[in-house]
Structure 1
């Protein structure tokens, strides 16, 4: 009899679900484990195989999803970008019939490796089946593959709504670049040196943006003055 029993990790692997899903099934009575003297769950192999072979039961399994939303600046948050991002991801989960168990939101650079909500989410991987993000860059500018592999070690998948999409160079990416340069400058020259370099970079970018705007305006006026042929 004992040789036909498997532990919760093996049972979850055979079923293609997480251990938290198995515990949920136990609570609902869908699956009845055998308890050891140490009060550990053990499952009968024949019970697991019966579920594997039951297409109807497997298809009825709903996944628990954690949503992660991020914007780089307060300006983006105040303009409603963070709220709209959350609404899109919640609707996506509804369409996919995922159960949203947690929503994590924060305003931080994608290069920041000390994001409070990101850390909080990864500490709670046992509570979810998958993480839903708008695209890879929302989770991290660099190191996305490492985060994905770490989550996978807990049988948690990361699902990007916009598969393979990278954010285009824009204000957000510029802010990330400024943050990166400032960080390394502070390490080399101290906090004061980092702030000074940041001010220089920001001023240079503002000047370039102004010159670009004036150039576009001049080109527009030049085109408008040309006679129609």
Structure 2
């Protein structure tokens, strides 16, 4: 089977398949004209196909999307998964109308869902989604980044505060007003240093 056909059948890019062949992960040979032929047997077929879901709560954190996506893609490939697709979304974990996540949950072309943190799936009730996906034959792998957990919750909290404040006070509340509310909240409820 040609390397390009193999890549399509595994849901990976040609470049990824080529790197795997160069690293000796795929058995095959190269014809004099340069075409790479992969020996098709059970050891060359990747059994699991992964879909990677990354989310950040606000546009200010957009750079973190690419960092998460690259990190999870590297981990998936190291585990031998074929990466079907990478889904990136900018939305609050409280938003239950996330188009990318809904599309992902409706799709059946992957066996593993990889997320950086359970809270990235949804802030509340993610265990229910994980149980449901398990019943549908999909494994959820959470690659927890312990160092960033507390940092991740601050933008989520700000987004939640903004949503609830807008519901209470109207849509005219600005980010500056929300930031002011958050700083007042932190002053009032922060643990006292002795």
TM-score bracket, shorter-length normalisation: 0.5 to 0.7
Partner residue in 1 for 2:164:
181
- Any conservation in 1 of the 2:49–2:110 contact (CA below 8 Å)? yes
Note the alpha carbon deviations across 1:95-114, whole angstroms, 9 max, x for none: 10100001110100111111
1:163 positional shift: 7.9
RMSD: 3.6
Partner residue in 2 for 1:195:
171
SS of the counterpart of 2:150?
Answer: coil
Q: Which runs of 4 or more aligned residues in structure 1 lie more than 4 Å from their structure 2 counterparts after TM superposition? A: 57-61, 163-166, 196-200, 206-210
Q: TM-score, normalised by structure 2?
A: 0.64
Which of the numbers 50, 61, 64 marks the counterpart of 1:81?
A: 64
- Any conservation in 1 of the 2:46–2:80 contact (CA below 8 Å)? no
> Cα gap change, 1:166/1:130 in structure 2, threshold over 3 Å: closer, same or farther?
same
Where structure 1 has 5 or more consecutive residues not aligned to the other structure, the ranges are: 1-23, 25-56, 211-229
1:205 positional shift: 2.5
1:209 positional shift: 7.5
Partner residue in 2 for 1:68:
53
> Cα gap change, 1:88/1:102 in structure 2, threshold over 3 Å: closer, same or farther?
same
2:69 is the alignment partner of 1:93 = no
Q: TM-score, normalised by structure 1?
A: 0.55
SS of the counterpart of 1:174?
Answer: helix
Partner residue in 2 for 1:112:
95
Q: Which has the larger radius of gyration?
A: 1
Q: Distance in 2 between matches of 1:90 and 1:171?
A: 26
Partner residue in 1 for 2:118:
136
> Cα gap change, 1:163/1:152 in structure 2, threshold over 3 Å: closer, same or farther?
farther
Note the alpha carbon deviations across 1:9-62, whole angstroms, 9 max, x for none: xxxxxxxxxxxxxxx9xxxxxxxxxxxxxxxxxxxxxxxxxxxxxxxx699652
1:181 positional shift: 1.9
- Any conservation in 2 of the 1:85–1:134 contact (CA below 8 Å)? yes
Where structure 2 has 5 or more consecutive residues not aligned to the other structure, the ranges are: 1-8, 10-41, 188-194
> Cα gap change, 1:72/1:150 in structure 2, threshold over 3 Å: closer, same or farther?
same
1:122 positional shift: 0.2
- Any conservation in 2 of the 1:137–1:166 contact (CA below 8 Å)? no
